[in-house]
Chains A and B, each alone.
Chain A
Amino acid sequence: MSDNAHDDAQNYVPVVEIRGGLLGFPEFTKFTLIKMNDEGLVYRLQSLEEAAINFVVVPAASFFPNYAPVVDDEVAKRFDLESGPEVLLLLVVTLGETFKDSTVNLMAPLLLDPNAQIAEQIIVENDNLSVRTPLMAA
């Protein structure tokens, strides 16, 4: 991994298309993924259509290593999950007053295929998951 993503053109993801947008925001589908820390633990997803539309996302694997949501067959096929281990699972963060109050949405993670530059917010039908899980429960 390079600090200057341009050095590594093959893996550089300037633009991500979020198919269908985030739920509640279907009109915004083109985003950039901006790395907020060197370790790749925090990203900012910013709309290219409307700069005020932005979200903080974190890689699920770093904070919830046991999180393995079941996705439906159609999603698995769209992202070629069988043969595409490079697909990433990102969690949308709601920043709290303090870091400890920050929560993530485990019910609707984002699947991101960095090669295809396509993402999708999927719904995991599991009543044990919450849309507001404290990040520090991790």
Chain B
Amino acid sequence: MLVLSRKVGESIVIGDDVVVTILEIRGDLIRVGIEAPKHVKVHRREVFEAIEAANREALAPTLAAMSDFTSAIKGLPNLPKAKDPQ
């Protein structure tokens, strides 16, 4: 891992078009500004990891579980009907 020391107001350039700037340091909280092209997704790591974990958990339900789920939905009273993507 590359380790760099920066002061408030100083930046790091990553590649041609990503700039990370240290905006403020208050105790153990550091505010970081990130300028990146629109197609570069920037998210907090824990958010990203939580979603990946949730997707892994949601993956590949058994046919039996899917059919139970669908039956249970059917038994629910008066759910608003969805707009049909098909």
A residues sitting closer than 8 Å to B (CB atoms) are 1, 5, 8, 11-13, 22-25, 33, 35-37, 39-44, 52-56, 58-59, 61-63, 65, 74, 86, 88, 90, 92-95, 99, 102, 105, 107-108, 112, 114, 121, 123, 125, 131-132
A52 to chain B, nearest CB (A): 6
Q: Is the CB of A62 within 8 A of B69?
A: no
Closest to A78 in B: B38
A13–B72 CA distance with the chains assembled, in angstroms: 25
Q: B60: which of A52, A114, A121 is its contact (CB, 8 Å)?
A: A52
Cβ 8 A contact of B47, one of A40, A102, A107? A107
Task: Report whether B58 and A55 are in contact in the complex, using a CB–CB cutoff of 8 Å.
Answer: yes
Contact across chains for B60 and A24 when beta carbons are under 8 A apart: no
Determine if B82 and A54 form an interchain contact, defined as CB atoms under 8 angstroms apart.
no
Contacts of B68 in A (CB 8 A): 99
Question: How many angstroms from the CA of A74 to the CA of B37 in the assembled complex?
Answer: 10
Instruction: Chain A residues near B53: list those with CB within 8 A.
Output: 24, 131
Closest chain A CB from B64 CB (angstroms) = 10
- Tell me if B7 is interfacial: C-beta within 8 Å of chain A: no
